[in-house]
Structure 1
Amino acid sequence: MKPPPEPSAMDALHEAGIHAAVALQAGPPWLEQFWLFLTSHLDPGSIYTICFPLARGLDEHVSMMVLWIALVAEWLNVVLKWFLFGERPYWWIHESGLSSREQLPLHQFPVTCETGPGSPSGHCMILGAALWPIVTTLSTAVSRYTRSRLLRLIPFLAYILLLVAMGLSRIFVLAHFPHQVVTGSLAGMALGWGLQRWPPNFFKCRFFLVTALGLLLGALALHGLATAAGLDLDWSLRRASARCSDPSWLRPETRPWASLCRVSGSALGLALAARHPLSRRAARELRGLEPPLGSAALGLLALDVLHKLPKSEDTALWYLNVGARYTLGPVLVGSLLPQLILTLRRLRAAP
């Protein structure tokens, strides 16, 4: 009888990641609730619905940069996942046979069963990229009041700690291996740094229209070419369906095409916001509200209501609905709601 084959370096890396997840799941119950809260409330969608409107409390340009960097990072993340074929822990332990060789005290959660490939981590990559302009803005603001290098580094230290915590939460819920969260975090930081150095002109409607169309058609072309070449880019959907503990945990918003609808819709929303910007007088008046927390809070509330509206169960209509909501987001936050705030302020100040 032939001896069992030696495990590859990737198998050893995966197995080490499984044991890291075992150690994390053996932690105290309060820590479990923290990991679940973090991975649930700071998913890629929250960048568009929470971080983007809240960043408006710092600066309008910063909020637009958050949205722009997030959509570019998410598109790249989808493409990388398609062609890196990364496994996810919750199905790999069964596909590799490790669960039959070892007694592993692991359990899944409602946020575990993501359906796309696992490498690199989208949570870490998109969060790391999108938060970069916020962190650098905060650091610059601190430097205006102190010369202490340590105090100027506090926003970056908090940023690193948040990415570490996010990575641990993704390992805890069996959504990612440690090397996937590390590569995702590093890619996100590099992307955030690079895109911030070359920001687009947020008043060019045509640029964002071309971007929205290019991102969607580019993804369709890559998927079509890969399929024609014999690559199965939908393999992870079958793995997820077979290995998820509860079929109701297979959420459609975790599919790659849902991410692409979010990305293309947000780019189209930036185009519409650029097509109907605030007047110069309105922009100056809005900047006079220090800090512009009213606009940020109202945008946060409006997007929360918008994304809690029911969606159609028809697949095509569901994707169209997602794209429409993310198209409306930048228009609401960047144009309609600030104009509403200024109108109400002028009516209140009128004799």
Structure 2
Amino acid sequence: MDWLHGCGVEAVRYLQTHYGHRRDWFVLASRSAELRYTFFIFFPIWFHLRETTGIKLIWVAAVGDCLNLVLKWVFFGQRPYWWVHETSFYDSTAVPQIQQFPITCETGPGSPSGHAMAAASIYYVMVSSLSTELQLGRQLSVKDRCLWGLLWTMFWGLQACICLSRVFLAAHFPHQVIAGVLSGLLVAQSSSRVLWIYSASLRQYLVTTLLLFSVTLGLYLLLKALGVDLLWTVEKARRWCVQPDWVHIDTMPFSSLARNLGTLAGLGLALNCPLYWESCREKHSCGAPFRLGCILASLGLLHLIDSLQLPTQTESLYYLLSFCKSATVPLTSVAIVPYCLSCLLRSCSKKVE
């Protein structure tokens, strides 16, 4: 593995040396793969345009990220920014100098890449849904074939950009981002065969949330009982990150777990909430102006929710508040906003009459 890691470090150095002036572009590409954009932007847009796609996005994001956490605990992947300082692969005088950035110092294991896995699964779902909505690939016209090819070329181009950005930032080795992409595609493809999620009851949502929590926590406790420290990477991040304030609590393994489980539980509550069913019965809920209003209002409110800063002094309190904050995202988009907008339109229609 040292040889593979060494080649990866050379790839990091090459990108930083020859494309260092594109630093902002690489940072932007990396941030585009963060799941917060799925929850706070993509989900409300897709849910009000095509409800099944919105639901699928949450399931793929939440379950896929939990799977990514488990895989990281199993594979014990290193990260370039600390590996170069601890390996015996180099002589003491020949240790490569690689740069770090504010989003380099993630605290979890490196393999497979969570950003690459999330981007592959989420964008695959969106491009597939868009192709289906536009009925591309079913007709033989040249225009449809070109549009279909353009969509998937953009998809793979984006995956390449995200993978290169993670390597440039010294957050991952090349083989880790490739593994992330393949894992993400596997999650997205597998989700296409799971149809019960579109009609799942609140009980099924809560059972799934509890199951994911139990499996993840059970694996953590089992390995800890066997003497395996699954938080070994946190110490490495704090030791080798050049700026202590670049080590963020929201990159901790259990932080992503709380965020994903909260979002999934919140979606279950929202879809089985009386507010949601009442707004669905309104005649306005099928109209384009109503959907557009829901999208704009949801994006505005979710931006305010996203801007809320959680206290980080106590980890357990942070995880609890992160769970609650994440649960409010689908509740706001699915139930609260459509219901309030529906009541407003009903009130206006009564005044007109």
CA contact (8 A) 1:125 1:185 kept: yes
Q: Residue 77 of structure 1 aligns to a residue in which SS?
A: helix
The 8 Å contact of residues 279 and 285 in structure 2, kept in 1 or not, is answered as: no
The counterpart of 1:74, out of the listed 65, 74, 79, is 65
Q: Which amino acid aligns with 1:115?
A: T
Matched, 1:234 2:231: yes
Q: TM-score, normalised by structure 1?
A: 0.91
Which of 205, 214, 223 is 2:220 aligned to? 223
Letter in 2 for 1:190: L
Q: Which amino acid aligns with 1:240?
A: A
1:278 is paired with a residue whose SS is: helix
Identity of aligned residues (%): 32
Please point out which of 45, 53, 77 is paired with 1:54.
45
- Tell me by how many angstroms 1:107 deviates: 1.0
Which of these residues, 11, 20, 23, is aligned with residue 20 of structure 1?
A: 11
Contact 1:202–1:270 (CA<8 Å) still a contact in 2? no
Closer, same or farther: CA 61–169 of 1 in aligned 2, 3 Å? same
CA distance in 2: counterparts of 1:111 and 1:260, whole angstroms? 19
d(CA) in 1 for partners of 2:280, 2:106? 46
* Residues in 2 aligned to 1:287 and 1:238: alpha-carbon distance in whole angstroms: 52
The answer (yes or no) to whether the contact 2:26–2:168 under 8 Å persists in 1 is yes
Contact 1:56 1:295 in 2 (8 A): no
CA distance in 2, matches of 1:293, 1:220: 40
From 75, 92, 96, the counterpart of 1:84:
75
Counterpart in the other structure of 1:102:
94
Where in structure 1 are there 5+ consecutive unaligned residues?
A: 1-9
Say if 1:261 and 1:323, in contact at 8 Å, map to a contact too: yes
Cα distance between partner residues in 1 of 2:49 and 2:193 = 19
Moved more, 254-263 or 141-150: 141-150
Q: What residue in structure 2 maps to residue 130 of structure 1?
A: 122
Which among 199, 210, 216 is matched to residue 213 of structure 1? 210
Instruction: Give secondary structure in 2 for the equivalent of 1:23.
Output: helix
Task: Give the stretch that moved more between structures: 156-165 or 73-82.
Answer: 156-165
Q: Structure 1 residue 317 and structure 2 residue 317: aligned? A: yes
Greater shift, 335-344 or 101-110, is seen at 101-110
Quote how far apart the aligned CAs of 1:61 are.
1.5
CA offset digits 1:183-234 (Å, max 9, x no partner): 1001101110110221313441110010111111221111011111222211
The one-letter amino acid of 2:163's match is G
Letter of the 1:172 counterpart: F
TM-score by length of 2: 0.91
Structure 1 residues 142 and 161: alpha-carbon distance in aligned structure 2, compared to 1, 3 A threshold? same
Cα RMSD after superposing both structures? 2.1
For the structure 1 residues 297 and 119, does the alpha-carbon distance in structure 2 shift closer, same or farther, using more than 3 Å as the test? Answer: same
Unaligned runs of 5+ in 2: none
Per the alignment, in what secondary structure is the counterpart of residue 176 of structure 1? coil
Give the aligned residue type for 1:104. P
Identify which range, 329-338 or 289-298, moves more after superposition.
289-298
Q: What whole-Å deviation, never above 9, does each CA across 1:297-329 have from its counterpart, x for those lacking one? A: 222222221121121232221111100011111
Give the counterpart of 1:243 among 231, 240, 243. 240
Is 1:300 the counterpart of 2:299? The answer is yes
Change (3 A) 1:283 1:197: farther
- Pick from 124, 144, 150: which aligns with 2:146? 150
Is the contact between residue 85 and residue 95 of structure 2 (CA under 8 Å) also seen in structure 1? no
Residues 90/284 of structure 1: CA separation in 2 closer, same or farther (3 Å cut):
farther
Q: Tell me the residue number matched to 2:265.
A: 268
Taking the aligned partners of 1:245 and 1:65, their CA distance within structure 2 comes to: 39
Contact 2:55 2:198 in 1 (8 A): no
Answer whether contact 2:117 2:182 (CA < 8 A) is retained.
Answer: yes
Q: What is the CA distance between 1:141 and its match in structure 2?
A: 2.8
For residues 245 and 85 of structure 1, the distance between their equivalents in structure 2, rounded to whole angstroms, comes to 22
Q: Give 1:289's aligned residue.
A: 288
Contact in 1 for aligned 2:65/2:118 (Cα 8 Å) = yes
Q: Give the whole-Å Cα distance in 1 for the aligned partners of 2:282 and 2:208.
A: 25
Is contact 1:202–1:274 with CA below 8 Å preserved after alignment?
Answer: no
